Structure formats: structure tokens, C-alpha cells
Amino acid sequence: MFHWLEKHPFLFSVGVFLTIAFAGLVEIVPNFAQAARPTIGTKPYTLLQLAGRDVYIKNSCNSCHSQLIRPFKAETDRYGHYSLSGEYAYDRPFLWGSERTGPDLHRIGNYRTTQWHENHMMDPAKIVQGSIMPAYPWLFKNKADINTAYAEQLTDAEFFAVPYNKPVPLKDGKTTIIPMAKSIATAHAMALKEAQAVVKDMHNQNVKDAVAKGDIPEIVALIAYLNSLK
């Protein structure tokens, strides 16, 4: 058979190509499948974080900030470990971005605090010298949309198998459970509890008063989301 193939160069080339292609798929496909799975320590977004992500998108923050650290020393020195595909397992849509008018934000939760975000969103130029980022004072007044975040959480759990109410592995070998609300009323109560933890580190009294009354300003949700990016 092999002597016959040697006499037919075209068929021999096709055979070699198919053999190499099959071997390549056997080696590569499993690695792609593994890389697409959530990395250890990657957790589903909480209700408040989902609401904050919606605020982030609504205000086009992803137009000026990327969330994708490339494996180059210049980037890892500034932003931290390069991004892994499994870290985006629960992101819909992905916010990789293609523009860096401002810095990458994929690991911003590791080096910025709640208070820093609070002051920065109110007056960026005052916090970062030479910043061209506009101020976002309306975030301190507008209410976060918890209803939409709840709908997103339900959709993620039912159609994308996001593991709410199930153990999620952490890097220290332990597990955590991100709860999913059973109703709109429960969702608002859960988000409010998260918001109360965030405002403990904030100074804006109007925001604190709003949360104390049961409202959640968009700035609180946005900060919860930014703090989760690690």
C-alpha cells in the first residue's frame, strides 16, 4: 500500500495532511476545552456585581478600558499576571476591549480600594494628575437596576450552567457558594446586604443615607464590580 502511495504524490500528500491534522486535533482540542473552563478561584458574579457590570457597560467604560492583560513583561509588570481564558467563563459579554485610553482594569481589584474608586469617579483629575477621564457624579444619585441583574443571574444559571448555589473552588483549596435569589424581593434584600458592606468604606454621606433607606446608588454597584476584578 505504501509503495502505491509513493507512486501517487497527490494522494500521499493528502494522506500525510490528514494524519497530521488528526494528530494535531487530538493534542490541541483537549487543551482548548480545559482552558475554557473556569480557573480555580473564578467565581460567578453576585447580584450587586452584576448590577455594577451593567453600570460599567451603560456608561461605556469598556470603550476606554480593556480587561485583557497580554503575556508581555511590560504589561504584567504594570497590571499583574496575564489574563487566562478561564477567567472569563462567567462573562457575558466579554469586555476584553480594544482601546486603552485608560489603563487595563482586569486586576484592578488587587490594587485599588473602595474609597479610591469613590473619589476617582467623582473627580478623576483630582485623583490622577493629567487624567482626561470625565467625572460621573450621576452615579451617586441614580439607582442601580437590581431587577435586571436578577434576570441575568437566572438566565446564567438556567441556560449557561453558571454554578449558583453550588460549591465553587478557591485557590486556597476551600470552596465558596454564590447564592441566587429566589424572588425579586429576595434579590433586593441580598443586593442591599452587599451594598451595606461596600458603603462601610465610603465617605459620601448621601450614598450612605440612601443605602440606609434601602436604595442602592449605581456607584455602590459599580465599585462592587470593580472590586471583584482580580
pTM (predicted TM-score): 0.85
Q: Do 10 and 18 contact (CB within 8 A), yes or no?
A: no
Residue type at 212? A
Predicted local distance difference test score (pLDDT) of residue 1: 56
Write out the residue range of the structural domain in which residue 134 sits: 47-227
For 83-111, write each residue's pLDDT tens digit: 998 999 999 999 999 899 999 999 999 99
Predicted confidence (pLDDT) at residue 224 exceeds the cutoff of 60: yes
Percent of the chain surpassing pLDDT 90:
80
Q: At 63, is the pLDDT very low, low, confident or very high (cuts 50, 70, 90)?
A: very high
Q: Is 106 exposed, middle or buried (0-12, 13-18, 19+ CB in 10 A)?
A: buried
Residues 130 and 29 in one domain: no
Residues 17 and 86 in one domain: no
Enumerate residues 6+ apart whose C-beta is below 8 A from 71: 82
Predicted local distance difference test score (pLDDT) of residue 36: 58
Residues 85 and 195 in one domain: yes
For 12-48, write each residue's pLDDT tens digit: 788 778 888 777 766 666 555 555 578 889 999 999 9
> Does any domain span residue 105?
yes
For 159-182, write each residue's pLDDT tens digit: 999 999 999 999 888 999 999 999
How many Cβ atoms are within 10 Å of 174's Cβ, its own excluded?
9
The CA-to-CA distance between both ends of the chain, in Å, stands at: 58
Q: Among residues 145, 153, 140, which one has the least CA distance to residue 199?
A: 140
DSSP, res 166: S
Q: Which three cell numbers stand for residue 24?
A: 494535531
> Does any domain span residue 155?
yes
Q: Is the model more confident about 116 or about 26?
A: 116
Beta strands in the chain (DSSP E): 167-169, 175-177
- Taking 3-state DSSP, the helix, strand and coil percentages for the chain, each rounded to the nearest 5, stand at 55, 5, 40
Looking at every residue in the chain, the average pLDDT score rounds to 91
Residues 30 and 67 in one domain: no
Residues 30 and 65 in one domain: no
> Does any domain span residue 41?
no
Residues 82 and 20 in one domain: no
Residues 92 and 188 in one domain: yes
Predicted local distance difference test score (pLDDT) of residue 208: 98
